[in-house]
Structure 1
Amino acid sequence: MFDWTTMGAFLAVVIGLFLIPGPAVLLTATRTVQGGRKAGIMAGLGIATGDFIHTIFAAVGLSAILMTSAWAFNLVKFAGAAYLVYLGVRAMLEKPVDPELPKVTPLPPLQSYGQAILAEVLNPKTALFFLAFLPQFVHPERGEAILQFLVLGLIFAILGFFYTALIAISIRPLGHLVKRISWLGRWSGKIVGSVYIVLGLKVALQER
């Protein structure tokens, strides 16, 4: 279904994106500081659940497009690549945000989980990201496209959960260290922007 090159590229990009602080890290860290490690871990699990729900929607929708027309699927794929380049340029131009965590009302673990799912599922930017990101690693000629979508999405969700769980476990001990590496906040937009742009250009420039 996947060759080592495709899976290696997918894992490298996903891990690279996780290493750059984003909304998932912010939400997990906030819930951990306000409600403890369990609340933070459950928030991370909620984010992963929401991501896989987006994967299901993307898999069903894009697989239906593929069944209708391979040309239409390629059009969606290139549109997704263009969107990734747009995200990359915007991320590189954005000014660094204040790393201070927002003050929120503490939530019990289960409520933290439910809120994280809702926040992730209802985020249109997340939906657009999965519609743009996953098709770059799907090759219909190698097997069922919908199964490829689901496998990639599941891997993304599992890795994301383990990463946010690690954040929840270590956020307090590493709190002082994070404050000392403020340069990461200044460069994070440029780093993640470069990842998006390279991924988008890879599709745009690859041989057909």
Structure 2
Amino acid sequence: MQISIEFLITSLIVVISPGSGAIYTIATGLSRGAKASLIAAVGCTLGIIPHMLLAILGLALVFLTSTFVFTILKFLGVAYLLYMAWLSLQDKGAFHFEQENTEHSAFKIMSYAVFINLFNPKLPLFFLAFLPQFVANDTPTPTWDMLLLSMIFMLITLVVFMFYGVFAAMMRQHVLGKPTVLKWLRRSFALGFISLSMRLLFSSKS
């Protein structure tokens, strides 16, 4: 199977577009450092796997045609994003600005990141509507081709999110020790999650 440049460019555009995973990774890099941001990037990438498997197994078609399933997943996603917004505003919450120390928080960081994408109802639609366009109609191995394209998309996601997180971690020295800046960063993260939750709330399957 030949990977088209159109697929790579389109995937990159989709990944670099601001979203809940990107916001979470950036916030983690700023608040906890490079190691934590890399864990967040891995977690966000792992959160894609269930959606990828659903699409490959064909179950995403059921999701696509079921308004009830879409609505349930959508409201779970909205609730989780609002929860992340609330955590962002807490002084000792998910984005508590501290010296880099991920030994005791790696699982929590990973869990938050996985759930962010797990409750994203747009991902199965993306895999069902987007990826098949790049699978040749006459291919003898459509499942393998779909899996390969999905893995490439996940790799792009991981690399881009790692870049976001590490760059954010490099900026930590400019915000640590500045209470006013930290306060507005927390508010910005919270506003970002709220904005994404509202966009998801009023979204549809089409």
Q: TM-score, normalised by structure 2?
A: 0.61
What is the aligned-residue identity percentage? 15
Q: Secondary structure at the match of 1:13?
A: coil
What is the distance in 2 between the residues matched to 1:26 and 1:195? 17
Equivalent in the alignment of 1:169: 170
Matched residue of 1:172: which SS? Answer: helix
Does residue 48 of the first structure (1) align with residue 41 of the second (2)? yes
CA distance in 2, matches of 1:51, 1:173: 26
1:130 matched to 2:117? The reply is yes
Give unpaired runs (5+ residues) of structure 1: 31-39
Partner of 1:35: none
2:73 pairs, out of 70, 77, 80, with 80
Count of equivalent residues? 182
State the SS of the aligned residue for 1:166: helix
Partner of 1:70: 61
The residue identity in structure 2 corresponding to 1:194 is S
User: How far did 1:70 drift?
Assistant: 1.8
Deviations 1:15-36 (A, max 9, x none): x763x4x476346643xxxxxx
Q: Does 1:192 find its partner at 2:185?
A: no
Deviation per CA, 1:101-122: give whole Å up to 9, x if none: 3578x57xxxx6x973x4455x
Inter-partner Cα distance in structure 1 for 2:96 and 2:87: 17
| Shift in alpha-carbon separation, 1:56–1:6, aligned structure 2, 3 A | closer
3-state SS in 1 of match to 2:39: helix
Moved more, 73-82 or 168-177: 73-82
Distance 1:44 1:185, change over 3 A: closer
Q: What's the CA shift string for 1:66-104, capped at 9, x where partnerless?
A: 2x5722454455543333333345556678211653578
Give 1:101's aligned residue: 97
Mark the CA change 1:151 to 1:179 in structure 2 (over 3 Å): closer, same or farther. farther
Distance 1:135 1:168 in 2: 31
Q: 1:4 to 1:202 in 2, by over 3 A?
A: farther
Q: Secondary structure, in 3 states, of the residue corresponding to 2:97?
A: coil
Counterpart residue identity of residue 118, structure 2: L
Contact 1:91–1:190 under 8 Å retained in 2: no
RMSD: 4.1
CA apart distance, 1:198: 0.9
Which residue identity lines up with residue 52 of structure 1 in the other structure? Answer: T
Code of the residue aligned with 1:169 in structure 2: it is M
What's the TM-score, normalizing by structure 1?
A: 0.60
User: In structure 2, how many angstroms separate the alpha carbons of the residues matched to 1:78 and 1:189?
Assistant: 23
